[in-house]
């Protein structure tokens, strides 16, 4: 009964955030900040996209929310309330129903981590539910999960904290629990683990990315609000990001664009800046074998990008 009540509450929290996103989408046209207004002259001066769309995959299992890529090249997508695996050939391999919407995914090598509200579901590579971790904090909403060499990190957008776990789900530490450091106005709060176990976290209300050590000390931060290629436009950005080799690939809302930056925040190139994506609905991201996968909640389609020089 207790687990059922927690599941109901988790769904309620997610529905509240969904209502916010619907409101955000509906009101964006009339209330968008001045910084996202770009003249035609400015558009002409923008760098060109260096990636092209190689495939678009409609996801018919339900509303799409998240994506992850495995080391073997498989693609896992999640949404309301399911996880689906696609092979390298983009054909479906398995499908599993879940108790709550899958808000974030990560490949752990021999397992898959699927965030569902305030818990993390552990899946086998063939789609079986092995166990569940959490909740780690009351009234939480996990919006990002990332697996490193020997630990897992996840971000809780409600409590504005990052949790660091061992590979058995035990709590190693937390970041953001004092001083209300993270400003998270909406359900976009991503984190990744670097190879040395430092963390990169999005402080979306400040339009910055921050690098932290695992003991909870911030090492550096970068990012500015604005429409310049290296800046983060609109509200709550970067909404999503992930590792791309030694760099990062980010997705924004307001001006819905995907780009590659380095670990110092320097702009490298656009993946997609000229598109028909809904302005206020950013795309979740995953990278595998130099291919970028972008999950679009607005149309429940998975967009697959390849760098032009490889074609």
Residue 44 lies in a domain: no
Rounded Cα–Cα distance for residues 303 and 96 (Å):
22
Q: What is the pLDDT of residues 57-104, one digit of tens each?
A: 999 999 999 999 998 899 999 999 999 999 989 999 999 999 999 999
> Which CB contacts under 8 angstroms, 24+ apart, belong to 170-177?
171/136, 172/214, 173/214, 173/215, 173/216, 174/216, 175/199, 175/201, 175/212, 175/216
Q: Which structural domain range is residue 249 located in? A: 2-28+52-310
Across 150-154, average pLDDT: 96
Per-residue pLDDT reduced to its tens digit, 186-233:
999 999 999 899 999 999 999 999 999 988 899 999 999 999 999 998
SS3 (DSSP) at 6: helix
Q: Is residue 296 part of a domain?
A: yes
Residue 134 lies in a domain: yes
Query: Is 45 inside a domain boundary?
Result: no
The answer to whether position 40 is within a domain reads no
CATH number at residue 200: 2.120.10.30
Domain assignment present for 38: no
**Residue 36 within any structural domain of the chain:** no
Overall number of domains in the chain: 1
Residue 37 pLDDT grade (very low, low, confident, very high; cuts 50, 70, 90): very low
Q: What is the pTM of this model?
A: 0.87
């Amino acid at each position: 009964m207790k687990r059922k009540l927690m599941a109901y509450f988790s769904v309620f929290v997610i529905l509240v955030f969904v209502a916010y996103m619907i409101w955000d989408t509906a009101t964006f046209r009339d209330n968008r900040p001045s910084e996202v207004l770009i003249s035609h002259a400015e558009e002409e001066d923008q760098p060109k996209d260096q990636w092209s769309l190689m495939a678009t995959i409609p996801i018919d299992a339900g509303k799409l929310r998240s994506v992850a890529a495995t080391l073997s090249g498989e693609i896992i997508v999640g949404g309301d309330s399911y996880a689906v695996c696609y092979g390298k050939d983009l054909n479906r391999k398995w499908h599993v129903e879940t108790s709550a919407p899958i808000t974030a995914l990560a490949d752990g090598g021999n397992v898959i981590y699927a965030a569902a509200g305030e818990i993390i579901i552990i899946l086998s590579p063939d789609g079986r539910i092995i166990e569940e971790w959490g909740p780690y904090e009351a009234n939480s909403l996990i919006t990002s999960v990332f697996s490193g060499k020997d630990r897992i990190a996840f971000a809780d957008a409600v409590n504005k904290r990052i949790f660091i776990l061992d590979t058995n789900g035990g709590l190693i530490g937390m970041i953001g629990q004092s001083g209300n450091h993270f400003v998270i106005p909406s359900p976009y709060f991503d984190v990744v683990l670097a190879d040395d176990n430092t963390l990169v976290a999005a402080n979306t209300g400040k339009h910055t990315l921050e690098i932290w050590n695992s003991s909870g000390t911030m090492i550096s931060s970068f990012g500015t609000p604005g429409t310049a290629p290296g800046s983060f436009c609109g509200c709550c950005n970067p909404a999503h990001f992930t590792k791309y080799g030694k760099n990062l690939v980010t997705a924004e809302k307001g001006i819905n664009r995907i780009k590659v930056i380095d670990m110092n925040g320097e702009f490298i190139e656009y993946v997609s800046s000229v598109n028909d994506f809904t302005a206020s609905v950013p795309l979740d991201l995953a990278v595998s074998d130099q291919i970028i996968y972008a999950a679009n909640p607005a149309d429940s389609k998975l967009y697959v990008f390849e760098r032009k020089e490889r074609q």
